[in-house]
Every structure is written in C-alpha cells, then in structure tokens.
Amino acid sequence: MSAAHKTAPGAVARLLDSDFVYAYRRSPIAIAASLVAAICLLAALLAPWIAPHNPFDLASLNLLDSFKPPAFLAEGERAFPLGTDDQGRDLLSAIMYGARISLLVGILAVALALVVGISIGLTAGYLGGTVDAILMRVADVQLTFPSILIALLVDGIARALLPREMHEALEIYVLVFAIGIALWPQFARTVRGSTLVERGREYVMAARVIGLSSPRIMVSHILPNVLGPVLVIATINLGQAILTEATLSFLGVGLPPTQPSLGTLIRIGNDFLFSGEWWITVFPGIGLAMMVLAINLLGDWLRDALNPRLR
C-alpha cells in the first residue's frame, strides 16, 4: 500500500520510463516511420481544410486545366504542385482526399476483422471442443485462399446482388466488408492461441472459482492479456488492408472515379501512362507506397519491441 504514492507521477511518467518508449526513442526507423504515418494521417484527416482545391467540386473543375504537368516541370503551374489529371483535378488535392478514403476503408476493415476475429478466437479458445474444431477448420480453409481473392469474390457477389446505383453508393461499405471478412482468420488464430494459454493460468481459475460468468472472464480477464500480439497483427494488417483496397480499386471493382481512393487514381493514371502523363499514376503511387511502408515499418518494429525474444 505504501507504494501507492510512488505511482503518483502517473501513467504518463511511467510510460515515458518504460522499455517500450526507450526502445522507440533509440530506433530512428520507428521515429521516421511514425512521423511519415502521422503526416499521412493528418493530410488525410484535414484534407477538406488544407488541400489547395476541392476535387469533388465539379464547379471549380475546368477541362482547360487537364493534363497539367507538375509545377517543377517547364509547363507546370504553381497552382497545381503535382499537376492535374484528365479532368483537370489538382493531383495533390486528389491524393489527399484519396488517402482519406484509403485510410478510412483500411481502418474500418481492420476494425471489422478485429471484432470478428477476436470474438471467434476467444470463443473457440475458451470453449474448446467441437466449437473450437469447427471454427478453426473454417479459418484454416479460408487461410489457404489468398485474401485478395476472397475480397474479390465477396465484392463480386455484392455487385451481383445489389442494383447498380445502390452498389455504387454502398461501395465503401462493401469494400470494408469484403476486406474485413478476408482478414479475420489471422486474428482469430492468434487470439485463440493466446486464450488457450491464458485459460490454464491461475487467475482464470480464480475468476471461475469466485463465480464470474464465462463471457465476463473472456472479455475482462483474458482479452487484455492477448492484446499485445493482436495490436501487432492489426498494424501489419492495416497496411495489408489498404493495399487490398487499392488493388481492388485498381482492378476496377473498388471505388468509382467519382469517389477516388489512391487505387482508383492510379487506375485512372494508368490509362495515360503511354501518352507520357506519368505523373497521374506515379504521384498517387508514391503516396500509397509511403503510407503503407510507414505502417509496415511500424508494425515490424512493434513486433520486435513487444517480443524481446526476437532481439
């Protein structure tokens, strides 16, 4: 009890003194990656306020502005730092708005995969027996199929089920659903594995003995103990989800040009690659790669930092 006053400096001070933060401050890669990720996130979040133009405002578009090269080239204009696309949209603004959509879809999809995966993993690991066997068999079978294929097929089915206009309006949610469904098994397997270990620990026995209900034990006692590895997978999967969305949009089964994500922008630009307007493809591509690289670097670093055995 006398230790209570020692913890008074609070959670922040303790966090700053932890091995985790220490490892972070000593890793230039982690710092650089989180900086880039933060810049991407801010640019995406604040796009409506800081982007030089509004690419969705049809009134401001002028076809005379189309195919302008980036400002640093001879024919570029300072109003369009990264040039314009075929409809005269400012690429920088389009990239910022596109990143917004890409991130939104990625985060929502991972959130969906998290919820589904954690619920199934906890249930399977805690209950065991037949439930466990069936759920994990399903996960195994799905894991043998590449996630991009699953997402493609789910999207294809949705396309066939929904009328065209409705599908276009709902495309973001369809994508979130398709990608989320494609990613859940990894979470489920990890959570199940950790749950199996935690289930045998004394504190779970103790919780049972004092008569707590199974869902309560699962959520408030086991879950916090399996969050570490889940956080790592979530980070790595966020990069994966963003790539999957971009790929689907690139394939023409993702977001329509009226609501372009980074993948859609690259797809649009791809049509003009041969006529020399390379910037329409390359800049959104660089934006996408930078964002995903930063997220992957962070995920990699997190995995090593949370798993000291690997160092």
Partner 1 sequence: MPAFILSRILQAIPVLLVVGFISFAMFAFVGDPVTAMLGQDYTEAQRIALVHKLGLDQPFFVQYAKFMWAAAQGEFGLSYRLARPVSGLILERLPATVELAMTSATLALLIGVPMGVYTGIRRNSFASRAFMVFSLLGVSLPTFLIGILLILVFAVLLGWLPSFGRGEVVHFSHWSTGFFTVSGLKALILPAVTLGLFQMTLIMRLVRSEMLEVLRSDYIKFARARGLSQRAINFGHALKNTLVPVITIVGLQLGGLIGFSIVTETVFQWPGMGLLLVQSIQVADIPVMSAYLLLISVVFMGINLVVDLLYYAVDPRLRMTRRVSANAP
- Return d(Cα 137, Cα 133) in angstroms, integer: 6
204 part of the interface to partner 1, by CB under 8 A:
no
Structure tokens at 83: 């040039």
138/212 with CB nearer partner 1: 138
Q: Which two tokens stand for residue 32?
A: 């650089």
For the bound state, the minimum distance from the C-beta of residue 111 to partner 1, rounded and expressed in Å, comes to 21
Q: How many residues does the chain have?
A: 311
The CA distance from 262 to 248, in Å, is: 11
Closest CA to 98 of 262, 240, 253, 268: 262
State how far the Cα of 157 lies from the Cα of 250, in Å rounded to an integer. 18
Examine residue 34 and tell whether it contacts partner 1 (CB under 8 A): no
Query: Which has the closest alpha carbon to 135: 145, 148, 121?
Result: 121
Question: Coil, strand, or helix at residue 306?
Answer: helix
Task: Please state the closest distance from residue 108 (CB atom) to partner 1, in A.
Answer: 19
Which one, 82 or 253, has the nearer CB to partner 1?
Answer: 253
Going by the DSSP 8-state scheme, the letter that residue 220 receives in this structure is: I
Site for partner 1 (CB under 8 A): which residue of 136, 217, 233, 246? 246
By CB under 8 A, residue 39 contacts partner 1: no
CB of 29 to partner 1, least distance (A): 9
Q: Which residue from 161, 205, 206, 227 is in contact with partner 1, where contact means CB under 8 A?
A: 161
Decide: helix, strand or coil at residue 75.
coil
Question: What DSSP string runs through 161-219?
Answer: HS-HHHHHHHHHHHHHHHHHHHHHHHHHHHHHHHHHHHHTSHHHHHHHHTT--HHHHII
Compare residues 46 and 289 and give the one whose CB is closer to partner 1: 289
262 to 291, contacts with partner 1 by CB under 8 A?
Answer: 263, 266, 270, 273-274, 278, 281-282, 285, 288-289
- Residue 160 binds partner 1 (CB under 8 A): yes
The span of 96-104, 124-132, 203-211, 238-246 binding partner 1 (CB under 8 A) equals 238-246
Is 310 a binding residue for partner 1 by CB under 8 A? The answer is yes
Select the span of 58-66, 72-80, 93-101, 244-252 touching partner 1 (CB under 8 A).
Answer: 244-252
Give the footprint of partner 1 on residues 137-156 (CB under 8 A).
141, 143-149, 152-153, 155-156
CA distance between the termini of the chain: 36
Residues 6+ apart with CB under 8 A from 223: 118, 122
Shortest distance, position 278 Cβ to partner 1, whole Å: 6
Which residues in this chain contact partner 1 in the complex, by CB under 8 A?
A: 141, 143-149, 152-153, 155-157, 159-161, 239, 243, 246-247, 250-253, 263, 266, 270, 273-274, 278, 281-282, 285, 288-289, 292-293, 296-297, 300, 309-310
